[in-house]
Amino acid sequence: MACYLLEQAVESEPCDFATLDRLIGRADEIFAFDWRHAAPEIEAVLVQARRAFGRAVMRGALVAASHPHLTTLVATT
Per-residue pLDDT of the chain (77 residues; tens, 9 = 90+): 889 999 999 999 999 999 999 999 999 999 999 999 999 999 999 999 999 999 999 999 999 899 999 988 766 55
pLDDT at 1: 86
What is the number of alpha carbons within 13 Å of residue 56 lying toward its C-beta? 22
Question: Which residues have C-beta within 8 Å of that of residue 6, sequence separation ≥ 6?
Answer: 20, 23, 24, 42, 45, 46, 49
> What pLDDT is stored for residue 73 in this prediction?
79
